[in-house]
């Protein structure tokens, strides 16, 4: 695991900061800011951020990755899920079908509310790529 310098500094501040003074950091729960949930720390006044859950080359429906995505959505009932698909040159016309299949799986098999899932065609690239994003309430959605 790679420790980020700002995270290390935040942990040192929490450990060394005198209890009688105000802490420059504000603790947040995993549900309120998924982007820094691993540490449980976020700078005070920082808005929640969208977080990429998974990125993978899409050849067929990847149930384990979509199951993990559905679990993330279950953990934050106010968040929306974004599925961004970037089409390979050969399958540019079929990308919406792939998006529909993935969304249908999440809705029918994992019982995710369809209004919480947004599908986005991200244009053309070398390979078919899916990005699964968790967007907490108040966060700016990812764009392509």
Specify the pairing of strand 41-43 against strand 25-27.
Answer: antiparallel
57/117 same-domain check? yes
Structural domain of 130: 51-135
Residues in the chain: 144
Same domain? 56 vs 126: yes
Could you tell me if 41 and 7 are in contact, meaning their C-beta atoms sit under 8 angstroms apart?
A: yes
Q: What local confidence, expressed as pLDDT, does residue 65 receive?
A: 95
The answer to whether residues 112 and 132 touch, using CB atoms and an 8 Å cutoff, is: no
Identify whether the C-beta of residue 52 lies closer than 8 Å to the C-beta of residue 131.
yes
Assess if residue 36 is contained within a domain.
yes
Whether residue 32 is found in the same domain as residue 56: no
pLDDT in tens, the chain (144 residues): 454 554 444 544 444 444 444 434 333 334 444 445 444 555 656 788 999 999 998 878 899 999 999 999 999 999 999 999 988 766 656 788 889 999 999 999 999 999 999 999 888 777 788 999 999 999 999 876
Instruction: Judge if 55 and 39 occupy the same domain.
Output: no
Domain containing 114 — which CATH number?
Answer: 3.30.1330.60
Q: What is the pTM of this model?
A: 0.66
Number of domains in the chain: 2
Phi, psi dihedral angles at 89 (to 5 degrees): -60, -30
């Amino acid at each position: 695991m790679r420790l980020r310098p700002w995270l290390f500094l935040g942990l040192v501040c929490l450990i060394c900061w005198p209890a009688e003074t105000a802490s420059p950091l504000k603790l947040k729960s995993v549900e309120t800011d998924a982007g820094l949930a691993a540490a449980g720390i976020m700078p005070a006044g920082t808005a929640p951020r969208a977080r990429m859950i998974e990125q993978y080359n899409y050849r067929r429906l990847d149930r384990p990755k979509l199951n993990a995505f559905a679990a993330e959505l279950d953990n934050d009932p106010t968040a929306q899920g974004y599925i961004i698909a970037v089409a390979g040159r050969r399958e540019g016309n079929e990308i919406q079908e792939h998006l529909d299949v993935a969304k249908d799986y999440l809705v029918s098999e994992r019982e995710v509310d369809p209004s919480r899932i947004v599908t986005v065609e991200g244009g053309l690239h070398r390979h078919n790529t899916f990005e699964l994003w968790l967007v907490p309430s108040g966060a700016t959605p990812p764009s392509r």
